[in-house]
């Protein structure tokens, strides 16, 4: 009887983990309510225009666009908010209206490339020199790490699915599979979440960067922050790690 409870508990935790991971995957695939609300990383560029204005003594015209449907990456103007998901990113002109890029497997997290591709070249020539040597502009580093993290999260999600479905079968061998899958899923999600946490943390160097010494110092006006997708991934890891205990107990005592 106790074994049944263990299986039930483990299955429940695996189910919750899988649900959380599905939410992580749908983040920013389009602008509808749920995907809009989930991101791995968020970049708020609202203060950048002002900062640029203060550091180059030129009124900034046409830096931002207010046309939320205009396509991204075509120098149509900067958006206020850039939210990055695992398959695409979306950019918003206010809290609700925005547009997304096409979907790609293992989409690269390149926040500065995204910003630059929307700005006119005469503005990005300033930001290129102001942001030099920050992790935020190191797109090659961020792209590589986000791709690696994506595959860890994808494989972790697959293992979590295997753990859930093999865990309900009443067979000793399958039970061993679900225990092993649960451990692997926890490990892969842990690594994926840790990589994402680390690269976003490093990008935060832009938040406090002084781009000019005029007026007693002008800060970049760009704010990078963790998206809730990272927290969802950590929560999924916690569920998967917790599920391994009842899976193991059931595996050894109930079915074994
Ligand atoms: C974006 O940053 C500005 C300051 O640069 C701040 O006033 C605003 O609240 C931020 N918006 C969000 C949604 O974080
Ligand atoms: C906004 O951008 C779209 C797509 O480029 C374009 O069709 C539309 O005319 C633009 N709207 C305004 C008000 O400029
Ligand atoms: C955001 O912008 C869109 C299009 O310009 C507008 O329709 C909408 O009311 C705005 N939303 C908010 C919350 O300002
Ligand atoms: C996005 O997809 C559309 C439709 O498939 C295509 O026409 C467009 O060129 C793509 N854009 C990019 C940047 O790949």
pTM above 0.85, yes or no: yes
Atom 11 of ligand 2, nearest CA residue: 67
How many other CB atoms are found less than 10 A from the CB of residue 165? 16
Q: Give the position, in ligand 1's atom list, of the atom nearest the Cα of 223.
A: 2
CA of 76 to the centre of ligand 2 (A): 10
| 224, β-bridge pairs | 43
pLDDT per residue over 103-135, tens digit each? 989 889 999 999 999 998 888 888 898 898 899
Among all bound ligands, the one having the nearest atom to the CA of 75 is 2
Torsion of CA 100, 106, 110, 115, to 10 degrees: -10
Confirm or reject: Cβ of 77 under 6 Å from ligand 1. Answer: no
Domain containing residue 223: CATH number: 1.20.140.150
Percent of the chain scored above 90 by pLDDT?
A: 64
Using the predicted structure, report yes or no on whether residue 52 has a pLDDT greater than 50: yes
* Nearest CA-CA partner of 178 in 195, 161, 194: 161
Q: C-alpha distances in angstroms, 234 versus 23, 32, 37, 169, 207? A: 12, 24, 17, 27, 24
Provide the residue range defining the domain that includes 131: 3-253
Look-up: residue for tokens 């599920």?
A: 243
CA of 75 to the centre of ligand 1 (A): 23
Total number of domains constituting the chain: 1
């Amino acid at each position: 009887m106790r074994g049944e409870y263990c299986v039930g508990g483990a299955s429940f935790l695996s189910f919750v983990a899988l649900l959380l991971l599905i939410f992580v995957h749908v983040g920013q695939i389009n602008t509808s309510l749920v995907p809009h609300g989930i991101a791995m990383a968020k970049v708020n560029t609202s203060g950048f225009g002002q900062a640029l204005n203060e550091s180059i003594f030129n009124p900034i015209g046409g830096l931002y666009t207010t046309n939320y449907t205009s396509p991204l990456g075509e120098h149509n103007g900067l958006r206020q908010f850039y939210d990055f998901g695992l398959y695409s990113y979306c950019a918003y002109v206010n809290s609700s209206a925005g547009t997304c890029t096409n979907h790609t497997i293992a989409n690269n997290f390149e926040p500065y490339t995204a910003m630059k591709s929307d700005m006119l070249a005469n503005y990005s020539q300033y930001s290129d020199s102001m942001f030099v040597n920050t992790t935020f502009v190191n797109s090659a580093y961020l792209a590589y790490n986000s791709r690696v993290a994506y595959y860890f999260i994808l494989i972790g999600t697959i293992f979590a699915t295997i753990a859930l479905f093999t865990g309900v079968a009443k067979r000793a061998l399958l039970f061993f599979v679900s225990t092993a899958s649960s451990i692997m899923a926890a490990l892969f999600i842990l690594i994926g979440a840790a990589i994402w946490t680390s690269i976003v943390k490093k990008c935060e160097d832009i938040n406090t960067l002084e781009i000019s010494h005029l007026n007693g110092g002008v800060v970049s006006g760009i704010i990078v922050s963790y998206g809730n997708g990272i927290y969802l991934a950590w929560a999924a890891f916690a569920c998967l790690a917790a599920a391994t205990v009842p899976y193991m107990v059931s595996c050894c005592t109930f079915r074994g």
